[in-house]
Structure 1
Amino acid sequence: MSSASGGTQKPMLQVSSGDVAKIARAAFVGTALEWYDYFLFGTAAALVFNRLFFSQENATAALLASLATFGVGFAARPIGAFFFGILGDRIGRRPTLLITIVAIGVATGVIGVLPTYASVGLMAPVFLVILRLLQGLAVGGEWGGATTIAIEHAPPQKRARYAALVQVGSPVGTLLSSGAFALVVLLPPESFDSWGWRLPFLAAFPMLLIALWIRLKVEESPVFHQLLEMDETEKVPALQVFRKAFGRLVVAICAALLGVGGFYVMNTFVVSYATNTLGVDRQVVVNATLVAAVVQIIVILLFGRVAEKIGPGRVTLIGGIATAAAAFPLFWLIDSGSAWAITLAVASGIGLLTITYAVTGALLTELFPASLRYSGVSLGYQIAGALSGFLPFIATWLIGLSDVPTSLPGVIILIVISLLTALGGFIGERLRLTDKVVVSDDR
């Protein structure tokens, strides 16, 4: 495994607790908008796009095409991580984050005015894929940058809680996107298909203005200022991650896998499976994701503090094992078709996998030196996203191969990624503790 410790650096510039909180809030707001936009697409892919943007000659093929379009955004994320990682480690965290937030907000808003298949035929899914690609590129650089700038402002002993605050943007984004859809699905079906589904996407424009206004007030990372003063920036940092810290990158990918991929198994796949295979009313499943988002916020805040006591790697190990153990019971509940059982399963499943997600930022930022941090964190997280983005598609495809519909593909996928994440947490904690012994001034 490649060795790349935090690197010997001058003591980090002191930042007031008020400034740290302001930075964390700005990172949170931007991340909330990012995930609102991204999760909105996931919900629409399961409920809307398959009917309005693809040919309905074969309903299963249309659903698969819709979920594949959803997965395309994940494929673009590592490319965005590579590109924006270079910018973030070369020109600064702050300006890069301004670019990413504008790109994802605009791409999402424009989806709200796209013509459908009935209007322009095959150009409808083409436009949709292009905008999904732009979303994916922007998200590729957003999360890693927001986490990096928040942690680089924070005192060493409180990094996990500030990293967790950034992660709260994910369930808040889920609440906003699921809440928006929960409202518009109350419309008559013809109104929903005609214009109702567009409203949540158009809402991205005013939300972008608010997020941009808050983020413009953010100061550049003091760690990045030090890198400039010491002339320690890399020319192409993303390439150096593969050359100098490839082993750590693999650990980062594994550690992030459940928080990203597990969520889409328990959210996007379950929404599609319950509504299209089990015939459950879509309102029931959307409401379940709302409950799960509230649970997620509580778990993130709680385990962000726990990580400060026992370490983010140990928390990741615990969360991965717990989720793997619960996989079969969760899908037994879902297969019952009962509204309360589905709600319990989705909330419990997302709550368990969120144990790992709560500390992903804290763990990943500890794995890479400051000169490679934006790139390393972004690549690790987004490659995990690319590997797991097609999981709803794969699970749905496997179900289609069986004469008798079964949730077994979803169960197996959830167990595999849970155990990989547990392994990543175990190795990541060992690396983190080793670095703390070798390098003390950056901790």
Structure 2
Amino acid sequence: MSERPGPTVTDAEARKVAFGAFVGTALEWYDFFLYGTAASLVFNRLYFATDDAVVATLAAFASFAVGFAARPLGAVIFGHLGDRIGRKRCLIITVTMIGIATTLIGVLPDYLSIGLAAPILLTLLRLLQGVAVGGEWGGAVTLAVEHAPPERRGRYAAMPQIGSPVGTLLSSGAFLAVSTLPQEAFDSWGWRLPFLAAFPLLGIAVWLRRRVEESPLFEKMLEEDERASSPVREVLTTAWPQLLIGAGTAFLGVGGFYLITTFVISYGTATLGLPRWLMLVATLVAATVEIVVLIVGGRLADRYGAARVTVLGALGSILVAFPGFWMIDSMAAVAVVLGVTLVTALLSIPYAVSGALLTELFPPHLRYSGVALSANISGVASGFVPLAATALLALGGGSSVLPTLLLIGIAMITCGCGMAAPRFFVERDRVAAARTTTT
């Protein structure tokens, strides 16, 4: 089933939808990233309390990993529902789920208050966060793209992507603010404030999403009864090449990001002996620059096509991988910040156009499912990248060469999949014609 031109959508409506998608994804990532910070600062001591600090930290990070493991489940559930009952309804459900789960974490009693129930309930709430995030991004991108004029899909599909670095900045800033409290106040109530802030933010996100109209393409499918009876199964059985290619094109933007942030923070502090504040500043500067790259990348997709921009970003990442790590290895503060920022900027180019590319791989009746599954397959694989980089670091005797080669390998996968993607685009001829007409 190929996509046919739907009702005319104005730029004003497309901007409203894209902004609603951005706010929702920013809230989702804010909530999701909060847990990671709290796992290392709070949960290991207050919820997974043992006499062994290492065991407590491992348990806290295990609960953190549950969120990643649950994301494909969210992709399956909300991919099916999004292609059956509508994109808008599912996005209201996902943003409500993660907002409520995050707020409940903020009021959850600790281990000393309710014993073993505390870590169990905390892990269950993290599971709900993962399910919600797994269904969020695919729907947000799909809704933004299907509301956008064909010749400007790239810029509007990039809007949900901006939610990730914004969520990173907000969550880091929130914990930085409460970390100035005295230790006793921080442990008793201070750490809860960033989680409780999710509730008023949830109200804003739901209000914005309720104002957005359903996708005109979905309404047309509903009117003509062209929905798939089992979209997830159909994607897995008939569109698995697109699924794998889509996951490959998204791998660098997610897996590479975790390598240059999560792994590099550990590498910089534990191996190089750099101060933690310097590595955090480098990450925050990189996230700020990433926002600009995502905006520019979306416009490049409109002009040159998402696949070409993906290949360009992957090749650029290959070229800067070693220079970037050499700057970090120099241990000079300015060079460290520049190295992290440079690599992040290049690998963010494929991430900027990931939404535009993935939505072109799947027809409308399978789009929510296909996009969500592709992104979350990549996300699960990316969750193991810091672990793999750490193992390679140990294998190489503390040298950054092998982790750098891992980054290059990830970039090569994205480059190859980006080159292969256009032959699977379901609407490339119509979109190409629209671009030609506008230029």
Contact 1:311 1:429 in 2 (8 A): no
Mean alpha-carbon deviation: is it higher for 228-237 or for 371-380? 228-237
User: What are the residue-to-residue correspondences of 1:371-382 with 2, within 5 Å?
Assistant: 371-382=365-376
The letter of the residue matching 2:408 is: I
Q: Superposed, which structure 2 residues align to 1:390-429 within 5 Å?
A: 390-396=384-390, 405-407=398-400, 410-429=403-422
1:178 aligns with 2:172: yes
2:26 maps to 32
Measure, in 1, the Cα distance between the counterparts of 2:179 and 2:421. 43
- Whichever residue aligns with residue 232 of structure 2, its letter is A
Match in the other structure for 2:211: 217
Matches within 5 A, 1:83-98: 83-98=77-92
1:134 lines up with 2:128 in the alignment: yes
1:405 to 1:201, Cα distance in 2 relative to 1, 3 A: farther
SS at match of 2:143: helix
| Alpha-carbon spacing, 1:349–1:75, altered in 2? closer, same or farther (3 Å) | same
Which residue in the other structure is 1:254 paired with?
248
In the alignment, is the contact (CA less than 8 A) between 2:2 and 2:427 conserved in 1? no
Distance (whole Å) between structure 2 residues aligned to residue 173 and residue 277 of structure 1: 28
CA 1:33 to 1:353, structure 2 compared with 1: closer, same or farther past 3 Å?
A: same
Report the counterpart of residue 38 of structure 2 in structure 1.
Answer: 44
Residue 59 of structure 1: how far off its partner (Å)? 4.5
Identify the match of residue 164 of structure 1 among 155, 158, 164: 158
Q: Distance in 2 between matches of 1:121 and 1:278?
A: 39
Please, which of 277, 285, 291 is the counterpart of residue 283 of structure 1?
277
Aligned to 1:387: 381
Residue number among 426, 429, 433 corresponding to 1:437 in the alignment:
429
Checking the alignment, whether the CA contact within 8 Å between 1:271 and 1:282 is kept in structure 2 is yes
Equivalent position to 2:220, from 222, 226, 229: 226
| CA contact 1:312–1:429 (8 Å) conserved in 2 | no
Structure 1 unmatched runs, 5+: 1-6
Change (3 A) 1:208 1:174: same
2:236 matches 1:270 = no
Return the alpha-carbon distance in structure 1 between the equivalents of residues 431 and 346 of structure 2: 33
- Secondary structure of the residue aligned to 1:216 is helix
Query: What is the TM-score of this pair, normalised by structure 1?
Result: 0.90
1:187 deviates by 3.0
SS at match of 1:411: helix
Counterpart pick for 1:333 among 324, 327, 335:
327
Aligned partners of 1:38 and 1:135 also within 8 Å: yes
Alignment-derived partner of residue 354 in structure 2: 360
Residue ranges of structure 2 left out of the alignment (5+ in a row) = none
Higher relative contact order (CA 8 A, sep 6+): 1
Q: Distance in 1 between matches of 2:215 and 2:112?
A: 49
Gap change, CA 1:187 and 1:352, over 3 Å in 2: farther
- 1:96-126 Cα shifts (integer Å, max 9, x gaps): 1100000111112222233445555554433
Residue identity matched to 1:254: G
Q: Does 1:351 align with 2:338?
A: no
Give the TM-score, by structure 2 length. 0.91
Cα 1:373–1:173 change in 2 (3 A) is same
Q: Give the conservation status (yes or no) of the 8 Å contact 2:252–2:347.
A: yes
Aligned length: 435
Percent of paired sites with the same residue: 54
One of 289, 299, 309 as aligned partner of 2:303:
309
CA distance in structure 1 between the partners assigned to 2:49 and 2:395 by the alignment: 23
Asked if the contact 2:103/2:199 (under 8 Å) is kept, the reply is yes
| Distance of aligned partners of 1:397 and 1:102 in 2 relative to their CA distance in 1, 3 Å threshold | farther
Structure 1 residue 240 corresponds to structure 2 residue 234: yes
Letter matched to residue 424 of structure 1 = C
Give the CA RMSD over aligned residues: 2.6
Counterpart-to-counterpart distance in 2, 1:316 and 1:268:
23
Structure 1 residues 173, 55: closer, same or farther in 2, change over 3 A?
Answer: same
Matched residue, 1:324: 318
- Distance (whole Å) between structure 1 residues aligned to residue 268 and residue 432 of structure 2: 50
Shift of 1:422: 1.3
Q: Secondary structure at the match of 1:392?
A: helix
Question: How far off is 1:416 after superposition?
Answer: 2.3
